[in-house]
Amino acid sequence: MLSAKEPQLGWPRWRRSWWFHAVYYAQTWRGSVVSTVLFPIFYLAALGVGVGHLVAAHSGLVDGQTYLHFIAPSLLATTTMQLGEGESLWPVLASVKWIRSYHAAVATPLEPEDILSGKLSWVATRAFATGVIYTAVIGCFGALQSWWSLTLPVIGTLVALAFAAPMTAYAATVESDASFTAIYRFAIVPMFLFSATFYPVSAYPGYLRPVVQLVPLYHGVALARTAAYGHGSISSIIGHVAVLGAMSTLGVLWGRRSLRRRLIG
């Protein structure tokens, strides 16, 4: 359990922002146990085992894998995407408008860039921890085939940052949360359903396949499957990492600008 003891004075300023989130989470972590620990078990049991039994009975393998092996890595990617979204939209708007904790932070030696770095570092910390738990659960279900599976927590962290960074930047620019519900309904949920999460790209009509491959979450799903299976082309891996890395980088650049405008003017 973390204490609220003041961190060492030699820490970089952004780590003080990270410490704030860590101490707060130490008091509220029980509320995330279900989504972090139980949801992976429920999803894999219901979809990987339950639906997987029906798939095996009717069509056999999916892309050369059992349905459990096929779906398990994609669920890690979708979970970390949702974590990035959940840590970014409403919490950031609350911090800049409703409870104004970011305004209090910039009254200290912290700069808006430090607040952003601390926030995203905390998202990365949570995503990595969630990825470790999820990978362990997947392993218990026997759905890991390669030592490259050990990189799944890192991939989950990259997916979370790819969504958290631009959403944090966006949340710092708005005055109300009216658009957040639309983002969830018309972006997050469709990506969850239509990023080759539950069935392969080959199941789509030919004209839709390029569209699916442009969806950001698709790259996280494909990268997670590559790690879980232990095989994939270097070019495709580089492409997936590049897309997610570009989203994170652009989100950080946008976030530095939007937070500074919102907090300092």
Residue with tokens 């961190």: 7
Dig out the tokens for 75 from the structure.
């669920």
d(CA 28, CA 72): 28
Note down the domain range covering 149.
Answer: 13-20+32-263
* Residue 1 included in any domain: no
Under-50 pLDDT residues of the chain: 1
Of 103, 95, 48, 94, nearest in space to 70 by CA: 48
What is the pLDDT at residue 7?
Answer: 56
* Residue 127 included in any domain: yes
- Identify the burial level of 154 via C-beta atoms within 10 angstroms of its C-beta, where 0-12 means exposed, 13-18 middle and 19 or more buried: middle
What is the pLDDT at residue 1?
Answer: 41
* Residue 55 included in any domain: yes
Of 158, 172, 157, 69, nearest in space to 113 by CA: 172
- Amino acid symbol at 169: A
* Residue 176 included in any domain: yes
* Residue 25 included in any domain: no
* Residue 40 included in any domain: yes
What is the pLDDT at residue 8?
Answer: 55
d(CA 36, CA 133): 7
Q: CA quadruple 107, 110, 113, 114: dihedral positive or negative?
A: negative
Q: CA quadruple 46, 50, 56, 58: dihedral positive or negative?
A: negative
d(CA 209, CA 196): 10
DSSP classification of residue 176: S
In three-state secondary structure terms, 161 is helix
Q: Does residue 62 contact residue 43 with C-beta atoms inside 8 Å?
A: no
* Tally of structural domains, the chain: 1
- Amino acid symbol at 220: G
Packing angle of the helix pair 67-86, 112-140 (nearest 10 deg): 160
* Residue 4 included in any domain: no
| Residues with Cβ within 8 Å of residue 179, at least 6 apart in sequence | none
d(CA 245, CA 20): 26
What is the pLDDT at residue 233?
Answer: 93
* Residue 6 included in any domain: no
CB atoms within 10 A of CB 35: 14
